[in-house]
Amino acid sequence: MKRIKIIAVFAAAALLFSCSSAGKKDGPKEDKVKEGEGKMYWKDGSLRGVGQYKDYKKNGKWTLYYQMTGEKQGEGDYKDDEQHGPWIYFHKKGPKMAEGSFDAGQKTGEWVEFYETGQMFTKAAYVVSDVTVEGITSRVGGIEGIKKTFFLSGKVKSEEEYKKGLKNGITREYYEDGKPKEFSQYRDNEYDGKVNKFHPNGRRSEESFYAAGKRQGKYDAYYDNGPASITGQFEQNKQSGMWKFFARDNRVMKEGLYKEGREEGYWAFYEYVGGKSKFMDATITGGMITGNCIVYKNGKKLGEGQLKQSIPKPQCVEKCDDCTECKTWSGKWIMPAKNGQWTEYFPDGTTKKIEANYMLNKLNGEYKEYYPTGKIKAEGEYMTNKKNGEWKFYLQDGSVDEENSGRYMNDRKWKMK
C-alpha cells in the first residue's frame, strides 16, 4: 500500500503539466512523421499539439492546446518523445500559469506557478533522482526542500518541507495577516508528530499528536478566547479513555469515557447554580442515551430512569455571531424528555416521591405517588398526561380518600347518577 501511495504521488507530480504520448487510452492521437512538422489530437478530434518530429519521435519546439477551445496550453521542447528543457504553461484565458524545466520528462530545477492575475502562486525546486520502492527503481523528479505558496496579496500562505517529492519535516500555514494557522510535522505525506492549529486571532485552537497519519496520544482543543474546550486522548485515530468538555469560561460541562471512538458508559453532566454540582449521570453510547439516567438537583438525586435518546443540551445565554457554539453558557442544561420508567425523589435524594411511566415527557401507564413518610398517596394510570381508569387516593394515615378515589376519564372523575 505504501509503495502504491508513493508511486502515485511521484506520478502526479511528474505529470502535472506534462503531455507525452505515454497515456495511450486517454492520451493524444498522433500524425507521426519521420521528419518535420506533425500534429496530435484530443479524443474529440480537436488539436492538442503541433511541433517537430525526428525519426518518428517528438523532437524540437512544440505548442500544446486546450481541448475544444484551441487556446494555447503550453510551449517548450521535446527530446526523444519526452519533454526536455524550459516549458511555459498558460491559463485558458492567456496569462502564464507555470514555468520551469524538464529533464527527460521529469521536472527539474525551480518551478513557479501563477494566479490568472499574474501574481506568484507557488514556488518549489525539483530534483531528479532514482527512487527504489520494493525493488523497483524509477527516475523521478520530485520537490526537494521548501515549497512556498502565496496569497494573491503576495504574502506567504504556507511553507512545506519536501524530500524526494513527499512532505517530510515541518509544514507551516498562515492566515493572510501573517498569524499562524497550522504548524505540523509530516513524514511521507502524512501527519507524523506534533500538530498545532491556531484561531484567526493567533490563539491556539488545537494541539495533537500523530503517528503515520493517525491521531495518537494526548489531544487538547481551545476556544478563541484562550481556555480549553476539550481534553482527551486518541488511540489509533479513535477517541479513547477519559474526555472532558468545557464552557468558554473554563467550567467543566461534561466528562466521560470513550472506547474505540464511541462514548461508552456513564457520562457526568455538571451545572452551576450557586456553585458546581452534578446535573446528570447518563448512560451514553455513540452520542445517544442508551440506558438508565440519574438526574440531580443541588447535588442530590432528583430522579432516575429512562430518557429520550438525545443527550442534554446546554442552556445558552448568548451564541457566537458566526458559529453555532455557545458563547455564554448559563450553567444549566435543557432536560431531555422522559421516555420510559421513571422514579422521582423528595429533596433528601433518597425518599421516593413518584414511580411512573412516560412517553416523550407525558405520563403514560401505571403511576404511584408517595408521602415523605413513605406511605402511598395515590395510584392509578395515565394516558397522555391525563388520569384514566380506576384511581385510589390515600390520606396520610393510610386510609382511602373516598372523595377523590374512583374511576377517571380524560382527567375527570365519573360521577354516579
Q: 239-261 pLDDT, tens per residue?
A: 999 999 999 999 999 999 999 99
CA 12/CA 6 separation, integer angstroms? 10
pLDDT(27) > 60: no
| Predicted pLDDT at 135 | 84
| Predicted pLDDT at 13 | 42
User: Which three-class secondary structure state does DSSP give residue 5?
Assistant: helix
| Cβ proximity of 333 and 279 under 8 Å | yes
CA 283/CA 264 separation, integer angstroms? 8
pLDDT confidence band for 12 (50 / 70 / 90): very low
Q: Which residues contact 171 (CB under 8 A, 6 or more apart)?
A: 158, 159, 160, 161, 182, 183, 184, 185, 186
pLDDT confidence band for 323 (50 / 70 / 90): low
| Cβ proximity of 304 and 338 under 8 Å | no
| Cβ proximity of 218 and 209 under 8 Å | yes
Q: What is the pLDDT of residues 337-369, one digit of tens each?
A: 999 999 999 999 999 999 999 999 999 999 999
Report the predicted TM-score, pTM, of the whole model to 2 decimal places.
0.81
Q: What DSSP string describes 142-180?
A: EE-EEEEEE-TTS-EEEEEEEETTEEEEEEEEE-TTS-E
Report the C-alpha dihedral over residues 105, 169, 232, 199, rounded to 10 degrees: -90
Long-range contacts of 313-319 (CB under 8 A, 24+ apart): 314/247, 314/253
| Predicted pLDDT at 4 | 42
Q: What average pLDDT does this structure show over 148-175? A: 97
Q: Pick the residue with more confidence: 327 or 9? A: 327
pLDDT confidence band for 138 (50 / 70 / 90): confident
CA 299/CA 387 separation, integer angstroms? 32
Is there a domain that residue 277 lies in?
A: no
Helix or strand (DSSP H, E) at 338: strand 338-345
pLDDT(123) > 90: yes
Q: What is the pLDDT of residues 95-108, one digit of tens each?
A: 999 999 999 999 99
pLDDT(416) > 80: no
Report the C-alpha dihedral over residues 401, 405, 410, 412, rounded to 10 degrees: -70
Q: What average pLDDT does this structure show over 15-24? A: 44
Q: What is the pLDDT of residues 126-135, one digit of tens each?
A: 999 887 778 8
Cell of 400: 382511602
Q: What average pLDDT does this structure show over 152-157? A: 98
Domain total of the chain: 1
Cell of 353: 416521591
pLDDT(299) > 70: yes
Nearest-CA neighbor of 118 among 95, 146, 85? 95
pLDDT confidence band for 22 (50 / 70 / 90): very low
| Average model confidence (pLDDT) across the chain | 91
Is there a domain that residue 87 lies in?
A: yes
Is there a domain that residue 264 lies in?
A: no
Boundaries of domain holding 116: 1-143
Is there a domain that residue 122 lies in?
A: yes
User: Which three-class secondary structure state does DSSP give residue 368?
Assistant: strand
Q: Pick the residue with more confidence: 387 or 4? A: 387
Angle at 192 between CA 188 and CA 198, to 5 degrees: 120
Percent of the chain residues past pLDDT 90, beyond the cut: 82
Is there a domain that residue 274 lies in?
A: no
Is there a domain that residue 96 lies in?
A: yes
Q: What average pLDDT does this structure show over 3-26? A: 44
Is there a domain that residue 40 lies in?
A: yes
| Predicted pLDDT at 274 | 87
Nearest-CA neighbor of 109 among 144, 139, 57? 144
| Cβ proximity of 68 and 52 under 8 Å | no
Going 18 to 23 to 25 to 30, the CA torsion angle's sign is positive
CA 21/CA 11 separation, integer angstroms? 15
- φ/ψ of 337, rounded to 5, equals -70, 140
User: Which three-class secondary structure state does DSSP give residue 29?
Assistant: strand
Q: Are strands 145-150 and 156-163 parallel, antiparallel or unpaired?
A: antiparallel
Q: What is the pLDDT of residues 73-96, one digit of tens each?
A: 999 999 999 999 999 999 998 899
Q: What average pLDDT does this structure show over 402-415? A: 93
Is there a domain that residue 293 lies in?
A: no
